[in-house]
Amino acid sequence: MSWNDLAARVLDGYAANFDDALSVLRSADDELLPLLDAAYRLRRAHHGNDVRIHVLQNAKSGVCPEDCSFCSQSMAFDSGVERYRMQSVDEIVEGARRAHAMQAVKYCIVTATRGPSAGELDTVCEAVRQIKAEMDINICTSLGLLKDGQAEQLVAAGVTRFNHNLETARRFFPEICSTHDFEDRIETVRAAKRAGLEACCGGIMGMGETEEDRAALAFELRELEVESIPVNFLDPRPGTPLAGIGRMSPKDCLRTLCMFRFVNPTRDIRIAGGREVNLRRLQPLSLYPANSLFVDGYLTTGGQGYEADIQMIEDAGFRVAAIVAE
């Protein structure tokens, strides 16, 4: 069966299975363009040629007590990343103005923390109320593990989506984090959804996981019915335990994005951190399976810059998605 045949079946309602996912990940280099074409059929059917732009705000940096081995924001590692406590309401609102000027459909407020304190949550909620009163932009927050009632507070303030990545497959998770477990993350995603928030939930590729692990993550996300899937490619950070791991090949990055599209055909699939350094010259091809980008860099690393991101979208024949207030 050709990749286009598989795409046609998925468009007809067939749910790609684990073997399909592995076939995508293990496909030959000379199948890459047909594979991208097939993934694009799914992307186009559900998202047209729009590219949804998201902008990140690192509202609390480098002071997380957890020990995720890929993360430069863990206090367990000497990564040299900038460290600061919670930003003020004014700083977070100012970030939203920048994001709005960059045509972002989502402004993503992120804190490096196990979970938000009551005071931190109050700061985020007040900032969100002020942002929503001032401009049309949708708000996602990524604040770590949530306690009872915290998701509801975010909803009341005007947040519509909550990010909490699973990071990797259930099997591999204990190898990258010892301070919380996979089920903690699943429960926070479920709590966010129960409260009425959309879930943004993805992972990081290239941490030493197997192809089966990558596929297993895509199926966990399908099971959780997450609305948005950020796919990061490890950009090894100095000082972290994964500092010595090599980067993925651009072709493996593309196969991975196609796999996520086949398994989760209707979802927002966002190319996240590590895009520029892993995909290199093949970056524009990633817009065929994926329909969303973080622009203007990431939490602790710079990207290629906003102007280059927009140029890439337009040169490849895609267009920046308009903001639709949620």
Residues that bind ligand SF4 in the complex, under the rule CB under 6 A = 64, 66, 68, 71, 73-74, 112, 144
Sign of CA dihedral 239, 245, 246, 251: negative
Give whichever of 71 and 200 is closer to ligand SF4, judged by the CB atom: 71
Give whichever of 58 and 291 is closer to ligand SF4, judged by the CB atom: 58
Q: Rounded to the nearest whole angstrom, what is the least distance from the CB of residue 74 to ligand SF4 in the complex?
A: 4
Give residues with Cβ within 8 angstroms of 80, minimum separation 6. 72, 238, 239
CA 241/CA 291 separation, integer angstroms: 32
Nearest to residue 231, comparing CAs of 255, 210, 197, 212?
Answer: 255
Q: Rounded to the nearest whole angstrom, what is the least distance from the CB of residue 130 to ligand SF4 in the complex?
A: 25
CA 219/CA 5 separation, integer angstroms: 21
Q: Rounded to the nearest whole angstrom, what is the least distance from the CB of residue 241 to ligand SF4 in the complex?
A: 11
Q: Rounded to the nearest whole angstrom, what is the least distance from the CB of residue 44 to ligand SF4 in the complex?
A: 33
Q: One-letter amino acid identity for 253?
A: C
Nearest to residue 101, comparing CAs of 55, 50, 157, 158?
Answer: 55
Give whichever of 68 and 226 is closer to ligand SF4, judged by the CB atom: 68
Q: Rounded to the nearest whole angstrom, what is the least distance from the CB of residue 38 to ligand SF4 in the complex?
A: 33
Give residues with Cβ within 8 angstroms of 224, minimum separation 6. 186, 189, 190, 193, 199, 201
Give whichever of 196 and 239 is closer to ligand SF4, judged by the CB atom: 239
Give whichever of 51 and 140 is closer to ligand SF4, judged by the CB atom: 140
